[in-house]
Amino acid sequence: MKTIFAAFFLFASLCQFLTAEDPVPAKGHDLNASKSFTIAVLPDTQFYCDTRLKLSKKWGNGDLRRYFFEQTRWVRDNQKRLNVVFLVHEGDIVQADAHEEWAIAKEAMSILDGHVPYCLCLGNHDLTTEDSLDRWLKVAPEFFPDGHPEYLLDTPDGVVYVMPNHWCATPYYWGEMQDPQFSSDQHNVFNDALMATSKDMQVFVTHSPVFGFPPAQTLLSEPLHEPAGAFSNTIGNLTAAHPGIRCVLGAHNHMNMHIEKTKVHYVTVSAFVESPFEFKLFEMQSDLLSMTTISLADRLPFKADYDKDKTFVQGRMIDRSFTHLNNIS
C-alpha cells in the first residue's frame, strides 16, 4: 500500500498517476484504509488573498484569488478519483493578515467542506499580531481540526506531523522577526506523539525551511535565506531522536530546494505566484518515499514572465525529484 503526498501550486489533472474509488472520512486523524490515498499540500497562497493585487499588474492576469479557488475546487472535484484524504496548507495563507484576506482564504478553503478535511500550518504572514492565533481560532476554527495549531495525521503507511514554528519568544507572533523556533511545549507534544508510533516512515511539516539555498543552486558565494543556526540544529536533533523521520517539508522562501543529510530529505517548495507554477507528488510507503515535480506553465491562461534556463527558483534536478528507500544505504 502507498500514500501519495501532493503539493499543489495550481489546479491540474493527475489522472495518469492515480485512481480512487471511495470518499474519505470526515476527519483524517487515523486512516485505516488499506489502499492508496492522496494528501494535498498548498504552500504560500498569500498573494491570492492580497487585495492590493500587486502581482496582477506584473502579469496582467486579473484577480489572483481565482487561482486559490481553482486549486481547492480541483482537489474537491478530484477527491474520489484520486482518493484525496487530507489537505495541509503550509502557511502564509494570507499576506497582510487582514479581515478581507481571511474572508478570501475561508471562501477558498470552504470549497473543500464536506469533501476533503484540511488544516493550516500557520506561517509568518498569518501571525502579524500577538493575538493572531486567538483570532484565527475564532474566525476560522475549521482550519484547526483538533482545536490547536499542531496536527497529527496517522496513516497505515506512516505519520505526517504538522507543527508551525514560532518566530520569536512570543508564541505564534511574527513581529517581522526571522528567528524560527519551537517552544518547549511543542517539543514535548511532538516527542510524545512520535514516541507513540513505531512506523518507520514519517514526514514533518512546518513553515520555515531548515536550510538556506546552497551556492550550488544559486551560484552565490554564500547560502541564501539561511535560517538561524539554532533552528537547523533543533530540527537536526529531532530527526536524530526520531530516525523514522524521512522528510522535513517547509515553505516560506518560495523556491524549490532539496537537501539530503543523514538520510533525511529537507524540502522547500516553491509558491505558485513566484513561479515556477508547479506541484509536487510525494509517494509514500512504509519503505519508500519519492518526490516528483510537474510543471503546469504551459497550461496557464497567461504567459509566465521568468527565465526557465535559470535554476535559482525552479531548482536543479535534485531539487525537483528524489527517491528514498528505507534500509538501503
- Check residues 148 and 85 and name the one with the higher pLDDT: 148
Question: Quick count: other Cβ atoms within 10 Å of Cβ 143?
Answer: 22
- What is the C-alpha separation between 315 and 323, in angstroms, rounded? 16
**Average of per-residue pLDDT across 24-45:** 57
- What is the C-alpha separation between 281 and 171, in angstroms, rounded? 32
Three-class SS of residue 228? coil
Q: What is the pLDDT of residues 73-125, one digit of tens each?
A: 878 887 887 777 888 899 999 988 888 889 999 999 999 999 999 999 999 99
CATH for 3-325? 3.60.21.10
Residue 323 is predicted with a pLDDT of 86
- What is the pTM (predicted TM-score) of this model? 0.84
What one-character DSSP code corresponds to residue 152?
E
**Average of per-residue pLDDT across 293-301:** 64
Which range, of 21-25, 152-156, 195-199, 289-293, averages the lowest pLDDT? 21-25
Strand blocks (E) in the chain: 3-7, 37-42, 84-89, 118-120, 151-154, 159-162, 202-205, 245-250, 257-261, 264-268, 278-285, 288-295, 322-325
**Average of per-residue pLDDT across 232-246:** 92
**Average of per-residue pLDDT across 313-317:** 82
Residue 129 is predicted with a pLDDT of 93
Residue 33 is predicted with a pLDDT of 44
- What is the C-alpha separation between 219 and 231, in angstroms, rounded? 24
Q: Could you tell me the three cell numbers for 213?
A: 539555498
Question: Quick count: other Cβ atoms within 10 Å of Cβ 270?
Answer: 28
Contact 220, 214 (CB under 8 A): no
Residue 8 is predicted with a pLDDT of 43
Phi, psi of 148 (to 5 degrees): -150, 170
Residues ≥6 apart with Cβ < 8 Å to 299: 10, 12
- What is the C-alpha separation between 119 and 41, in angstroms, rounded? 10
Residues ≥6 apart with Cβ < 8 Å to 325: 287, 288
**Average of per-residue pLDDT across 209-236:** 89
- Check residues 282 and 162 and name the one with the higher pLDDT: 162
Q: Where exactly are the structural domains of the chain?
A: 3-325
Does the pLDDT value for residue 61 go beyond 80? no
Q: What's the pLDDT band for 324 if we cut at 50, 70, 90?
A: confident
Percent of the chain with pLDDT over 90: 34
Letter for the amino acid at 237?
A: N
Q: Could you tell me the three cell numbers for 41?
A: 499540500
Q: 163, 140, 44: which is closest to 92 by C-alpha?
A: 44
Q: What's the pLDDT band for 130 if we cut at 50, 70, 90?
A: very high
- 248 strand-pairing partners: 204, 266
First to last CA, the chain: 23
Contact 38, 306 (CB under 8 A): no
Which range, of 46-50, 64-68, 193-197, 233-237, averages the lowest pLDDT? 64-68
Contact 247, 289 (CB under 8 A): yes
Residue 10 is predicted with a pLDDT of 35
Average pLDDT, the chain: 79
Q: What's the pLDDT band for 199 if we cut at 50, 70, 90?
A: confident
Give the burial class of 51: count Cβ atoms within 10 A of its Cβ; 0-12 exposed, 13-18 middle, 19 or more buried: middle
Does the pLDDT value for residue 329 go beyond 70? no
Q: What's the pLDDT band for 133 if we cut at 50, 70, 90?
A: very high
Question: Quick count: other Cβ atoms within 10 Å of Cβ 173?
Answer: 18
Residue 320 is predicted with a pLDDT of 86
Does the pLDDT value for residue 180 go beyond 50? yes
Q: 284, 258, 224, 311: which is closest to 37 by C-alpha?
A: 284
Q: 221, 241, 237: which is closest to 229 by C-alpha?
A: 237
